[in-house]
């Protein structure tokens, strides 16, 4: 309970005194939003609850960036994981731990892997976990949808019945302040937080086995994080219904790994034609040589691959946790 100026006690999580929450996905938009709120709405930031719905299958760079954000903001980012076997359906963990809710939920689906058509991973591990954490409290949720994204919509709180109260209300500071993509980059640069390191090779945040990854990103994953790639491949086994499920439609990870160099080089040749050579650190021949020498880390550390990705514009596919 808190005391207001009239010496009246208000219970946190009511209509009169709602909770203020902001979901951090580990991506650029939600990360910059927390910084923007701190800079422009200090009274809101003081009571803002930052949270991250952790699938237990995030890239290492995501956890590193969350730790960096906590230090910069001076505020904890609460790590919440789905726990389908617990009373509350979620648990709060301290930093990175070994609990992996994906495996338990996958068994519930008899090994049926999530896909763009059946996105049970986003629904259960992200959205329903957040809803369980909020409970019946009234909340104002600050969402990182920009002014230059008119077609995107935020999370809509749903009651059990159409007349139920909708206890989570979304607000959009970027739209209120007319901020677009270039402003997000500026906020991150000015804060010295910069972009998360996975943007060096990946187009968006997400689990290491995210089915929204582009083929070239799967190929690079096999080079950068062979253990994670192998872990994803092990999910592609024949299940009790005698069907084989794969992360990529009509393509196994084993096949992607065997053709990784060809996939990456083909992508480089295609994207190189779309960019200004002067904006790159390496020329095409040097890029191809580094791939062939298995010097993929040296290549991506130049940020050249991100520039090649950006030639196609922003990747809009993926889970919608940043729109909660």
Q: Please compute the mean of the pLDDT values over residues 258-268 and round it to a whole number.
A: 97
Question: What is the dihedral angle through the alpha carbons of 186, 187, 188, 189, rounded to the nearest 10 degrees?
Answer: 50
Tell me the per-residue pLDDT of 133-191, one tens digit each, with 9 for 90 and over. Answer: 999 999 999 999 999 998 887 666 665 555 445 899 999 999 999 999 999 999 999 99
Let me know whether 60 and 100 are in one domain. yes
Rg (CA), the chain: 21
- What is the domain-level CATH number for residue 169? 3.40.50.620
Let me know whether 233 and 185 are in one domain. no
pTM of the model: 0.87
For residue 29, the model assigns a pLDDT of: 95
Give the residue ranges of DSSP H helices in 41-100.
Answer: 42-47, 60-73
Task: Name the 3-class secondary structure at 70.
Answer: helix
Let me know whether 64 and 150 are in one domain. yes
Let me know whether 232 and 266 are in one domain. yes
DSSP letters, 257-298, are HHTHHHHHHHHHHHHHTTS-GGG-SS-HHHHHHHHHTT-HHH
For residue 3, the model assigns a pLDDT of: 44
* Contact by Cβ (8 Å): 22, 44: no
**Percentage, residues of the chain above pLDDT 70:** 88
For residue 237, the model assigns a pLDDT of: 74
Which residues in the chain belong to E strands, given as ranges? 2-3, 9-10, 19-23, 48-53, 77-82, 90-93, 139-142, 168-171
Let me know whether 109 and 177 are in one domain. yes
Question: Can you tell me the distance from the alpha carbon of 102 to that of 104, in angstroms, rounded to the nearest whole number?
Answer: 6
For residue 46, the model assigns a pLDDT of: 96
Let me know whether 190 and 259 are in one domain. no
Q: Domain of 225?
A: 215-310
User: Please, which pLDDT band fits residue 7 given cuts at 50, 70 and 90?
Assistant: very low
Tell me the per-residue pLDDT of 219-241, one tens digit each, with 9 for 90 and over. Answer: 999 999 999 999 999 888 756 66
Report whether pLDDT(11) > 70: yes
Report whether pLDDT(205) > 90: no
Let me know whether 145 and 55 are in one domain. yes
On average, the pLDDT of the chain sits at 88
User: Please, which pLDDT band fits residue 104 given cuts at 50, 70 and 90?
Assistant: confident
Q: Which residue, chain included where needed, has tokens 């954000």?
A: 69
Q: Would residue 235 count as lying in a domain?
A: yes
Structure tokens at 209: 């086995």
Let me know whether 219 and 171 are in one domain. no
Q: Would residue 169 count as lying in a domain?
A: yes
Q: Would residue 86 count as lying in a domain?
A: yes
Q: Would residue 210 count as lying in a domain?
A: no
Other Cβ atoms less than 10 A from the Cβ of 8: the count is 9
Question: Can you tell me the distance from the alpha carbon of 61 to that of 45, in angstroms, rounded to the nearest whole number?
Answer: 25
* Contact by Cβ (8 Å): 37, 149: no
Which long-range contacts does 117-120 make (Cβ < 8 Å, 24+ apart)? 119/319
Listed ranges 79-88, 157-166, 257-266; the one with the highest mean pLDDT: 257-266
User: Please, which pLDDT band fits residue 113 given cuts at 50, 70 and 90?
Assistant: confident
The CA-atom distances, in angstroms, between 141 and each of 34, 80, 82, 155 are: 12, 16, 20, 9
Other Cβ atoms less than 10 A from the Cβ of 295: the count is 13
**Dihedral sign from CA coordinates of 138, 316, 31, 80:** positive
Let me know whether 14 and 56 are in one domain. yes
Give the burial string for 138-148 (b: 16+ CB within 10 Å, else e).
bbbbbbbbbeb
Q: Please compute the mean of the pLDDT values over residues 275-284 and round it to a whole number.
A: 95
Tell me the per-residue pLDDT of 35-72, one tens digit each, with 9 for 90 and over. Answer: 999 999 999 999 999 999 999 999 989 999 999 999 99
Count: domains in the chain? 2
Question: Can you tell me the distance from the alpha carbon of 46 to that of 64, in angstroms, rounded to the nearest whole number?
Answer: 24
Q: Would residue 209 count as lying in a domain?
A: no
**Percentage, residues of the chain above pLDDT 90:** 67
Closest CA to 48 of 173, 166, 165, 153: 173
Report whether pLDDT(93) > 90: no
Closest CA to 77 of 40, 122, 120, 33: 33
Strand order in the sheet with 19-23: 90-93, 77-82, 48-53, 19-23, 139-142, 168-171
User: Please, which pLDDT band fits residue 315 given cuts at 50, 70 and 90?
Assistant: low
């Amino acid at each position: 309970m808190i005391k207001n100026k009239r010496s009246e006690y208000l219970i946190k999580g009511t209509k009169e005194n709602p909770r203020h929450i902001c979901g951090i996905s580990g991506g650029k938009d939600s990360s910059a939003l927390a910084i923007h709120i701190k800079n422009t709405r200090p009274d809101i930031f003081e009571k803002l609850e930052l949270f991250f719905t952790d699938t237990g299958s995030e890239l290492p760079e995501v956890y590193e960036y969350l730790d960096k954000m906590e230090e910069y903001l001076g505020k904890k980012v609460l790590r919440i994981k789905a726990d389908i076997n617990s009373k509350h359906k979620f648990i709060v963990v301290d930093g990175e731990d070994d609990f992996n809710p994906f495996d338990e939920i996958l068994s519930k689906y008899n090994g049926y892997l999530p896909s763009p058509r059946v996105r049970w991973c986003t629904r259960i591990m992200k959205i329903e976990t957040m809803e369980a954490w909020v409970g019946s409290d009234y909340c104002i949720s600050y969402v990182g949808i920009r002014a230059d994204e008119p077609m995107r919509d935020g999370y809509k709180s749903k009651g059990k019945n159409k007349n139920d109260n909708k206890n989570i209300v979304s607000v959009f500071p970027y739209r209120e302040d007319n901020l677009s993509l270039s402003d997000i980059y500026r906020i991150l640069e000015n804060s010295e937080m910069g972009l998360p390191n996975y943007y060096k090779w990946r187009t968006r945040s997400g689990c290491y086995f995210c089915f929204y990854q582009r083929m070239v990103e799967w190929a690079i994953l096999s080079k950068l994080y062979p253990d994670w790639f192998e872990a994803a491949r092990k999910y592609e086994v024949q299940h009790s219904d005698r069907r084989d499920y794969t992360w990529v439609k009509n393509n196994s990870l084993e096949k992607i790994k065997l053709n990784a160099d060809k996939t990456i080089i083909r992508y480089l040749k295609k994207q190189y034609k779309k960019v200004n050579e002067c904006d790159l650190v390496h020329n095409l021949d040097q890029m191809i040589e580094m791939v062939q020498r298995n010097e993929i880390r040296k290549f991506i550390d130049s940020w050249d691959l991100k520039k090649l990705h950006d030639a196609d514009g922003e990747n809009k596919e993926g889970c919608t946790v940043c729109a909660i």
